[in-house]
Amino acid sequence: VPVLLTGCGAEQVTPQGFPLPGFSSCSVWLQPPVLLVPFGGSLNITCSTSCSDPKATGSVETSSFHDRQSHNATVLEVALRNVTEWNSSLTCFFHCYGAREWERTQLIAYGPLDQPQLSPIPPLPSGHAHKLSCRVPNVFPIRNLSVSLLRGDLTLHTATFWEHSQKQLEDVLVTHEVTARREDHGQSITCHAQLDLRPYGPLLSSTSTAQLVDVYVLQTTTDVRLETGEELNLTCSVQNTFPAANITLLLDGEPLQPQSEDSQSVGVWGLLWGQPGKHRCVCRVRVGPEERSTELVVNVYDFPTPQLSVSTDVPVAMQNVSGSCELPGGHREGIELRVTVGQRVLVPWGPSPLLFTLLVTEGHDGSELRCEAKVEGRAPKWSDVVRLNVSAPPHMDDQLCPPTHTWTEGQEVNQWCRARGKPNPVVTCHKDGTIILVQQLYVISRNHNGTYWCNASNALGSTGRSVSVRVECEWGGHTWGGDTAGIVSTWNGDVRGGGGWGDRCGMVTRMGLGVLG
C-alpha cells in the first residue's frame, strides 16, 4: 500500500498505509486521496482548497500527461491520461492571497495480475521432502500482493510483502517445502495470487493451473514388517556350490549363532524385538575367493493396547462422564480406534486420540466402557474395561408406591411402598407417630386405616409421598342393647343391617403428594 507524501505535513494513515479522512493538516486536498490507476489508464482527480481568496488559482504538477477539465477559485478538476510511470508523484497547489499552498501525493500505476506459474512437481517417493515453487510475473505494487500455496482446499503457506519497495515491475517467487505422504497421492496443488488495492482500487486475483501430486511407495521383497514381540525365523541358503559354502548371518553387523546348519543353509529362530525400530539382517556367502550377500530390512512397529481413561467410574445419574481413548507414542500408522458402551458404539472408528462425553442414566449402571484398536492384518486389541457404577437418589412413582391401597381386615401385607435408587433407599411410612417398616409383614387391622406419609432416603437424598390406606371389615352379628339385633355394622355412626363386607371401617381422606428435598 503506498505511503502518501504531502507538502504540508504527514498524514494520519490506516494500517494499510491509506490516509484517514478528515485528518489532513493541509488547506489543499485531493480526491481521491490515494491515486491508483491501471498502467496506461486514465484517472479523474479533484483538487480543492479551503482558501477564501476569490482570485485564487490552482494547478497540478506531474510527469504524467494531463489536461484541465474545470477550474474555479476553490476547485480544480484534472484528467490524467495514459499513465505509464509505475511510481511517480502529483502536486496540487493553489495561489491564495499571494501564498502558495500545496499537497503532494504518490501516483501509483498497477498492472494486470498475470496467472501464477507453478513449477512442475515430479513423482515423489513417500517421505521425500520437495520444495514447491510459484512465480508471479510482472507485479506492481508488490507490497499489496499475497501468494498462497494450496493442497486441495488446505492452505499450506501464504506469503505477504508489506515491507517491499520497488520502482518497476518485478517477478515474485514463493517457495515452500513439503514432505510427500501416501495420502497426498492424487491431491491437487495450486498457487493463488491476490493483489488487494482496496478501498481505493480493485481486488485482483489469479490462480495457477492445478498440478496433481504423484506419490509412490517402493515395495521390495527385502523388507519385512513385524509387530513388537512377534518372532522372526531366518534361513539363509545357497545351492550348487563347491566346495561347501561358508554361510554367515549378521544382525545389525553382528554375527548370529546359528540354530540349524548344514552345507547349504544356516537358520536362526525366534528373533524378536521389544521396541519399534529398523534392523538389517545380512546373509553372507563365501565360496573360495568369492563372496556374495543379500540384505533383509526388518521394520519393527508397535501395535499397542489402547488406553481408556474416564473422569469417573462412579457417576451419579444424569451426570456427564467424559473420557478419552488413545494410543501411546511410537505406534505404527493406520491404527484406528473406537469406543463402545455395552453393545452400543459411542464413538465410531477414527485416529488416536478419541474424546467422548456420555450422559449417564440409571440404565447405564453396570455397563462396560471399552476402547478397541484395529489395524490391517492383525487381531484387534482392547483396553481394560471400565465398569460404570451409577448411583441415583431415591425415586417413587405410582407403580412403586401407589397413592391408595384397599385391604381387608386380617390380610397379610408387606408391600406398602417401594422406591428406586442406588444405594437402595430405606422406605418408612408413618401416621400419627406410628412408623411402619414397609419391609416387614403386617396383619391388617382397622387401626391401619388412614393416610400415611411414606419417605425414601439414601446417601444422595430423600423423597416422599402420601399414601391412603382403606381397610374393609367383615360385618358380624352382635348384641344391640342386650338383644340380638341381627347382623349390623356401624359406618360413621349409622346402624345398618345386613351381612358381608362393609365399605370401610372408618372415614379415609386422601392427602396430596409431597416431596422431601
96: left (phi over 0), alpha (psi -120 to 50) or beta: beta
Residue pLDDT, tens place only, 342-375: 999 999 999 989 999 999 999 999 999 999 999 8
C-alpha cell at 86: 509505475
Homologous superfamily of 393-517 in CATH? Immunoglobulins (2.60.40.10)
Task: Considering the domain delimited by 117-216, tell me its CATH architecture.
Answer: Sandwich (2.60)
For position 495, what pLDDT does the model report? 36
- For the cut 60, the answer to whether the pLDDT of residue 502 exceeds it is no
For position 365, what pLDDT does the model report? 92
Average of pLDDT values for 491-497? Answer: 36
For position 132, what pLDDT does the model report? 96
Residue pLDDT, tens place only, 392-438: 999 999 999 999 999 999 999 988 899 999 999 999 999 988 888 77
DSSP state letter for 448? G
> What is the spatial distance between Cα 261 and Cα 255, in angstroms, rounded to a whole number?
14
**Residues above pLDDT 90, as percent of the chain:** 51
pLDDT-wise least confident of 77-86, 113-122, 254-263: 254-263
> What is the spatial distance between Cα 229 and Cα 233, in angstroms, rounded to a whole number?
13
Pairing of strands 320-326, 307-310: antiparallel
Tell me which fold the domain 223-301 belongs to: Immunoglobulin-like (2.60.40)
Which residue ranges make up each domain of the chain?
Answer: 28-110, 117-216, 223-301, 307-390, 393-517
Residue pLDDT, tens place only, 224-234: 777 777 788 87
pLDDT-wise least confident of 33-47, 274-288, 467-481: 467-481
- For the cut 80, the answer to whether the pLDDT of residue 39 exceeds it is yes
459 — phi, psi (to 5°)? -65, -15
> What is the spatial distance between Cα 75 and Cα 223, in angstroms, rounded to a whole number?
83
DSSP state letter for 7? B
C-alpha cell at 302: 508397535
CATH code linked to domain 307-390 = 2.60.40.10
1.10.10.10, 2.60.40.10, 3.40.50.150, 3.40.50.2000: which CATH number matches 28-110? 2.60.40.10
- For the cut 70, the answer to whether the pLDDT of residue 176 exceeds it is yes
pLDDT-wise least confident of 33-47, 55-69, 479-493: 479-493
With a CB cutoff of 8 Å and minimum separation 6, the contacts of 494 are none
Q: Quickly state the pLDDT bin for 278 (edges 50, 70, 90).
A: confident
For position 482, what pLDDT does the model report? 35
